[in-house]
Structure 1
Amino acid sequence: MSSTRGGDQLPLPLPFTRRQEAERIARRTGQVVSRVVQVVLRWALRLVLPLVCAAAALRAFPYEATVQGVPFEVRGTLLSRPGLSADTTLGSWEFPEVSGVPFGVHISPVDVDVLQLTRLAGGDLPGFVERMQADFTAQLPRIATWLIAEFLLGLVSGLLIAAAINMSVRYLRGLPRRPHELRYRSLQAAGAAAVTVTVAGYGVLSYNPNWVRDSQLTGTLAAAQLFPSELSAYYSQSNKALDVLGSVVGIQAALQAQIEDDQTPETALQIMTISDMHLSANYPLVARYAANYDVDLIVNAGDESAFGTRQELTPAYLEAVAALTETAPMLWVAGNHDSPATVEVMRSVPGVTVLGDKVATADGYAVTAGVVDAYGLTVAGLSDPRVYGGPGRYGADAADVVEPLQREAVREALGVLEDEEIPASEEIVLDEAPADGALGGDDPLVGDGSAVLDGIDAETGEPADALETIDVFAVHEPVAAEEVREVLPGRVRQTISGHVHAQNDSSEVQDEDGVIDLVEGSTGAGGLDNIVRGTGRPPIEFSIVSVATDCQFTRVIRFSIESTQPVLVAPPTADSPRDFGDDVTASTVYFRPQDIDPDRLCSTGLGISEERPWPLPE
């Protein structure tokens, strides 16, 4: 019996060929990708357009206020330039760490009558500042309402535009109108509102109550931190621009003084950190900075020369170093461009104390650590084990060679075995006594600076703890500083390094445990090193750290001067006041207090001890 009728035959399910299978997979993949792209584009439109419209509304409609007779504009920003800032034609004062939300508020004067401002400020700048603060604070609710309202208006406008575009695309594609369109759009608006509330909540949770302590100055306001003597001459000229400069800088100084008076203990000494001079002629400039800031101690993280030869350090160059150390003594460690000959020359410069040593060996170089007591602080240092042009890995630049060498040098110099740490309970033996006689012979140093013999305090006869803290540890390579912190956990309060010709970011200066890490830029702006490497000149960078009478590090001011223009070393003319300081940035970071002995005392009257080697017990 036939299985078909009328001669028809049912098609048999034959398997696909490889080509047909590939085409089928390609079609399905294309459909999936097309669907994903459509969804992503729709949601990108729904998210990006409201944000763009909100940012545009904030920018287009600033709040106009008058504070003590001075007209101001208050403008919000979204996604760009977060934080709070005050802008003037003389530079800006920025506070970037207000919260984790990328939202900013920026205040700038409008059509300021400089003579009126000068009269308003008068001779009582602190009083004028207090009145401005009170007047501005009274207007804060209205300013906040204005900014929030235009932000929400921008979001709603963006959502409406996104919905209109979406419906227009559906119409052009001939798609039918969806049922319950209004409810669908309402749900989208509710989702946007929920996201806005979530972001606002995150802003509240991430709010930094100490935002006022971390700031950045640019332009003439930053230059005012560097050149007070020049500004004194600057003010003496009769010019309207100079009048307003005096007022604005005075207002800024009064506000800064309020911050410091309210939250910062008395300063006992100032430490300047420099690095990577590379034979540049910047020492006279550094000396001026040191004098302007009453710097008491300079820590130099090395790379004094370019090729490590004795002849590079000319008499004129060394005279410039000696002129600086007449202002403030210098603690110096050798960098990878500094040979043993460079170390020997630097030891001969009056006022320079070389921490540790670098000597040639059969296959390279060996380095040791050194330590001094400086004004109540314990400062240690370790030179870089490399020398430019040295043999094998001692002259290498490749990171995979340099990093293990740096870590190995730190461990060998500190007497630490591989993967071993030195806990705070172990002793560190120091050979020589400091100049004031606080230590004796081979006695280990305890945290408060008193002498002990076999764990017994020399004065009281009671058991004493071994050295608990190194206040400052200077090295040349940042990776060496990292290794120091790892092998001496809880023992080092601050590390200072250089080498990379760029300061580390302000957010990286102090970690969650309170340890401070300063990576200094090239104070010599690269010098000959940049010619050798064929790279552009980096900024001239250095920092000034304030130390309180209780030995707490309180703040650091980090300066950066663009080296593409000549550095200003003479007073500017009255005809070009805006050119003064345009290439200067000054960032201030206030440190969180560290856990140290409450009875400690730091003072320049304590002096600086002789450098002594730092062997560890077997």
Structure 2
Amino acid sequence: MARRSDDAEQLLLPYPTTRRQRLEHLAHRAGGIARRVLRFVLRWLARILLPLLCAAALLQAFPYQATVQGVPFEVQGSLFTRPGLTADTTLGSWEFPDVSGVPFGVHVRPEDVDVLELTRLAGRDLPGFVEELRVDFAAEVPRIAWWLVAELVVGLAVGLAIAIALEMAVRHLRGRPRREHEVRQRLLQFGAAALVTLVVAAYGVLSYNENWVRESRLTGTLAAAQLFPGQLSSYYTEQSKAFDVLGSVVGIQAALQADIDDERTPDTAVRIMTISDMHLAATYPLVAQYAANYDVDLIVNAGDESAFGTSAEFTPEYRQAIADLAATTPMVWVAGNHDSPATVAIMRGIPGVTVLGTKTAVEDGFAVGAGVVEAFGLTIAGLPDPRVYGGPGAYGADAPDVVDPLQRAAVREALGMDDDEDGATDGGAADGENGGDGGAADGGAEGDPAGVDLFVLHEPAAADEVRELLPGQVRQTVSGHTHRQNASDELQDDDAAIELVEGTTGAGGLDNIVRGTERPPIAFSIESVSADCQFTRIVRFSIESAGPAADLGTDPATPQAYGDDVTVSTVYFRPQDVAEGRRCDTDLGVGAERPWADAG
């Protein structure tokens, strides 16, 4: 009985007898669990973050320093903040962002460079100097790599040691006894950290992009020099009196850039410049100068020439600027959503401009038709935007949920697609049976899976529909409308098809005022086509607008008129599936535009 009494008393002690006591008991237990979880999370955060912070700090504090061909420089590693490989020069930066998937970066920076001394060292043998510079720097690479790896490992170890010391100090302050097998436990922690480091390093090796050197980005004056190679003298005379010095530095950079264009990249047979969304801006002198400096053979214009679509907007000066450009460099043009049938008629009347497709007013809106032209061996198709600024209903809308269905329906109708049979067309342009001299689908290209080399549209949604309806039959689409270029990693998909969305070459015009957005940069690109009709690379330019050229009182064909903040990105394309026997050459000329349905 006594034992039963004792048992009864013991059974009553752990359990609260009232509802309030039970709730307090549960809250106490929950708080204890939360504290243990918080301590666990903080402990592991310290174990992870402190090593990373120490490694990052060590990489920043102790850069590798050396001198190559009289040029003192330092190499600094980084974690998370600046991945990839970047290099500063006296005139701008040169960036290679896609080296691997690990957020580890290496930054090369010259120290107190004497550009006069650098010019003297380069002398007249610029190629020889560049080669010696490249060889000597390559000899430093193993030492640089060991230095950075050692800093990374030491930083991780120091950070982990600090984390362990903090944990032991907290344990001591709380009056807890020393753990059994303390040394073994700490060795296990170091081993786990080493294992994680090896896993991350292995991921870096597996994600290494062997073509990282073939996708670069230039900023600053280096980019401006790329943009205006024929105008360096006047540009730097105004900016600085040391043109001979700066010209030599730019020449060194250009020679290093050319070294990337090795034997893996075929020679260029045709150069295509893409522009879009001019919006009546006075930037055609800029386009003309760029086309002349880079020997552009063809200009592809994705539309929105106008602001409101009226004939009165096209002043004689503006028409003459287009005519002057088209007189030396032929242009292919499609109408955008700001271009009315009147705009189409004006553009069709300018010599040298080939308008692709038709745009006519109908009872409830506008009807559009696709067109095709053979240019320098490439089959180029185009389809206008069915909208017009201020048009009725969906034809004047801008909301995607209204516009996208209209765009897709217009594409299907223009291509003659059956509603129940994707990929079938009434015309022959997309099935590889076009006629034309040296075209993508002529007899010399029999069996070519791409019946159209380049399809020009204004709205990206329409370009998406074209690729869906003609899978494997369009090698590249070009569109605009968004006033910003698509990202470099969006240019080419897994099937090697290219999707180019060009920014506004007119910097938005009145359209950006209506949208209430900041003025975007002036954007355009130049694309290289090899003799076998492969699209090999694209160089994309972006100029942050300083203001309208008229306000600056400068020549609109010079970089000063548009601002000096220039960015140049270079992307090399993977080979596309092009039939043997294709030939692209400027000698083939530009043919006459014909309707899509008559292209077979």
> Is this a same-fold pair by TM over 0.5?
yes
Instruction: Give the secondary structure class of the aligned counterpart of 1:196.
Output: helix
Instruction: Give the secondary structure class of the aligned counterpart of 1:471.
Output: strand
Contact preservation (8 Å) 2:459, 2:481 = yes
The residue number in structure 1 matching 2:293 is 292
Shift of 1:148: 0.7
Structural mapping, 1:599-610, within 5 Å: 599-610=581-592
Shift of 1:377: 0.2
Amino acid paired to 1:450: G
| In structure 1, distance between residues paired with 2:158 and 2:35 | 28
Amino acid paired to 1:475: L
Instruction: Give the secondary structure class of the aligned counterpart of 1:349.
Output: coil
Cα distance change of structure 1 residues 599 and 180 upon mapping to structure 2, 3 Å threshold: same
Question: Per-residue CA shift, 1:81-100, capped at 9, x if unaligned?
Answer: 21112211210111111111
| In structure 1, distance between residues paired with 2:309 and 2:361 | 13
Q: TM-score, normalised by structure 1?
A: 0.88
Shift of 1:273: 0.6
Cα distance change of structure 1 residues 71 and 472 upon mapping to structure 2, 3 Å threshold: same
Instruction: Name the stretch that deviates more: 597-606 or 161-170.
Output: 161-170
The residue number in structure 2 matching 1:518 is 500
Q: Is the counterpart of residue 253 in structure 1 residue 254 in structure 2?
A: yes
The residue number in structure 2 matching 1:428 is 428
Instruction: Give the secondary structure class of the aligned counterpart of 1:615.
Output: helix
Shift of 1:448: 4.6
Shift of 1:540: 0.7
Cα distance change of structure 1 residues 467 and 185 upon mapping to structure 2, 3 Å threshold: closer
| In structure 2, distance between residues paired with 1:413 and 1:43 | 61
Q: Is the counterpart of residue 450 in structure 1 residue 443 in structure 2?
A: yes
Cα distance change of structure 1 residues 335 and 16 upon mapping to structure 2, 3 Å threshold: farther
Instruction: Give the secondary structure class of the aligned counterpart of 1:250.
Output: helix
Instruction: Give the secondary structure class of the aligned counterpart of 1:100.
Output: coil
Shift of 1:336: 1.4
**RMSD, matched Cα:** 3.4
The residue number in structure 1 matching 2:225 is 224
Contact preservation (8 Å) 2:378, 2:533 = yes
Shift of 1:269: 1.3
The residue number in structure 2 matching 1:204 is 205
The residue number in structure 2 matching 1:493 is 475
Instruction: Name the stretch that deviates more: 111-120 or 597-606.
Output: 111-120
Amino acid paired to 1:104: G
| In structure 1, distance between residues paired with 2:540 and 2:160 | 44
Amino acid paired to 1:95: F
| In structure 2, distance between residues paired with 1:617 and 1:374 | 14
Q: Is the counterpart of residue 130 in structure 1 residue 123 in structure 2?
A: no
Question: Structure 1 vs Structure 2: percent identity of aligned residues?
Answer: 66
The residue number in structure 2 matching 1:529 is 511
Structure that is richer in helix per residue: 2
The structure 2 residue matched to 1:560, chosen from 527, 542, 555, is: 542
Q: Is the counterpart of residue 480 in structure 1 residue 433 in structure 2?
A: no
| In structure 1, distance between residues paired with 2:418 and 2:285 | 43
Question: Per-residue CA shift, 1:454-486, capped at 9, x if unaligned?
Answer: xxx9xxxxxx66984210001111121111111
Amino acid paired to 2:579: D
Shift of 1:159: 1.0
Contact preservation (8 Å) 2:285, 2:556 = no
Question: Per-residue CA shift, 1:236-289, capped at 9, x if unaligned?
Answer: 799785344222211111122222243221111111111111121111111111
Number of equivalences: 593
Cα distance change of structure 1 residues 349 and 27 upon mapping to structure 2, 3 Å threshold: farther
Instruction: Give the secondary structure class of the aligned counterpart of 2:305.
Output: coil
| In structure 1, distance between residues paired with 2:380 and 2:439 | 14
Contact preservation (8 Å) 1:228, 1:292 = yes
Contact preservation (8 Å) 1:49, 1:159 = yes
Q: TM-score, normalised by structure 2?
A: 0.90
Question: Per-residue CA shift, 1:285-327, capped at 9, x if unaligned?
Answer: 1111111111111111111112222222222222222122123
Question: Per-residue CA shift, 1:176-219, capped at 9, x if unaligned?
Answer: 33222222222221111111111111111111111111111111
| In structure 2, distance between residues paired with 1:37 and 1:98 | 37
The residue number in structure 2 matching 1:149 is 150
Contact preservation (8 Å) 1:446, 1:466 = no
Amino acid paired to 1:518: L
| In structure 1, distance between residues paired with 2:74 and 2:293 | 35
Contact preservation (8 Å) 2:379, 2:440 = no
Question: Per-residue CA shift, 1:466-507, capped at 9, x if unaligned?
Answer: 984210001111121111111111111111111111111111
Question: Per-residue CA shift, 1:531-567, capped at 9, x if unaligned?
Answer: 1111110111111001111111111000011114567
